[in-house]
Amino acid sequence: MAAPIGDDCEHLRVVWDRESRAQVIVAVHDTRLGPAHGGIRRWTYQDAAAAQQDAVALARAMTWKCALAEVPAGGGKAVIVDRPDLDREAAYRVAGRVVEELGGAFYTGPDVNTTAADLRVVAAETRFVATDADDGPGDLAAATADGVLHALTALADRLETPLDRLRCLVQGLGVVGFGLCERLARRGASLLVCDIVPERVAAAVRQFGAREVAADEALTTAADVFAPCALGGAITAEVARSLPVRGVCGAANNVFADAAAAQVAHSRGLLVVPDFVANAGALIQGALWNLQQVRVEPQRLERIGRTVAELLERAAVDDRPPAEIALALARERVESAGGAS
């Protein structure tokens, strides 16, 4: 008999609410390092199994991300299955009630298609959610941009090119990408930027002296480092074969379309910083606020840079992709916290 979906999770809750037409899935993957953390994703899926598999995969990735970020937290994720007849507000209320029922085993927050307004609805039902309230953890996107800057600095060291001589192509000028440009410009880096929203590109050109790159030329334009801050999946194996950069480091999750694409990049000698290490700033700031009510000091995020330096060093010695080393290290940390699963 096939194993059930999520058999490596501590809990998998699948809830159907007839009134709102909401199917809510909450996967709590592992809490051996601490209460699970993960946002709420609202997305359309082909079927119920695909939605559950996505929730489980995302929750698992959060476990490894927490372990590498050295926060006392574990991995979880909530998914609301989007559908044309969904009562959105009621669906977020259902999600909030499921989170509350877990009694603090799972803390949630934003993810794809979940806005600050949605989270305020969730917060009416549960204590275990981060919102944009004044008494909250602070600016999480800024923490992500800070973390990516530390990761990029470690990568630049490895490439033996100081930031003030680095050409960095930033794809996506949203809250994180724009903030990253601001930080890189302050350190003297040369910026190449692209976005599908022309006003954002114009602002980066004006404010940081960045050079505009057409959105469809982002993966064929030469730079030292490609910093993906838009959506994942951009680098296929074919793109990886010719991507004209020496390193990749950004905030976007799963920028490589699959393992084959990541392997092609590695075999070409590209230094690829694992996304789940580089983009952990918001998690660190949010989790430490939830669990210890502390606002992180900026120095706390510098640890991301140290982790990246260590991973790139071990990857060079072992001739393995840094993401492989990162996953092995994360598993070690989780298993040594509470015995093998």
Interface positions with ligand NAD (CB under 6 A): 140-141, 144, 171-177, 194-197, 200, 215, 229-231, 251-253, 279, 282
Point out the catalytic residue in the list 37, 77, 150, 158.
77
Instruction: Decide whether 126 or 144 has the Cβ nearer to ligand NAD.
Output: 144
Smallest gap from residue 47 Cβ to ligand NAD (A)? 24
Q: What is the C-alpha separation between 208 and 188, in angstroms, rounded?
A: 10
Residue 318: count of CB within 10 angstroms of its CB: 12
Please report, in angstroms and rounded to a whole number, the separation of the first and last CA atoms in the chain: 21
Q: What is the C-alpha separation between 315 and 321, in angstroms, rounded?
A: 6
Q: Are 321 and 271 in contact (CB under 8 A)?
A: no
In the bound state, the residue with its beta carbon closest to ligand NAD is: 174
Q: What is the C-alpha separation between 145 and 148, in angstroms, rounded?
A: 5
- Please report, as a single letter, which amino acid is at residue 155: L
Instruction: Decide whether 173 or 326 has the Cβ nearer to ligand NAD.
Output: 173
Instruction: Decide whether 94 or 226 has the Cβ nearer to ligand NAD.
Output: 226
Is residue 77 annotated as part of the catalytic site, yes or no?
A: yes
Q: Are 240 and 268 in contact (CB under 8 A)?
A: yes
Q: Are 245 and 222 in contact (CB under 8 A)?
A: yes
Residue 47: count of CB within 10 angstroms of its CB: 9
Q: Are 304 and 278 in contact (CB under 8 A)?
A: yes
Instruction: Decide whether 99 or 230 has the Cβ nearer to ligand NAD.
Output: 230
Smallest gap from residue 292 Cβ to ligand NAD (A)? 20
Distance of alpha carbon 234 from its chain centroid, rounded? 15
CA distances 268 to 35, 38, 264, 317, Å, are: 39, 34, 6, 16
Smallest gap from residue 340 Cβ to ligand NAD (A)? 29
Instruction: Decide whether 165 or 295 has the Cβ nearer to ligand NAD.
Output: 295
- Please report, as a single letter, which amino acid is at residue 247: G
Instruction: Decide whether 31 or 171 has the Cβ nearer to ligand NAD.
Output: 171
- The H-or-E segment that residue 247 falls in is strand 247-248
Residue 241: count of CB within 10 angstroms of its CB: 12
Q: What is the C-alpha separation between 78 and 96, in angstroms, rounded?
A: 10
Task: Please list the active-site residues.
Answer: 77
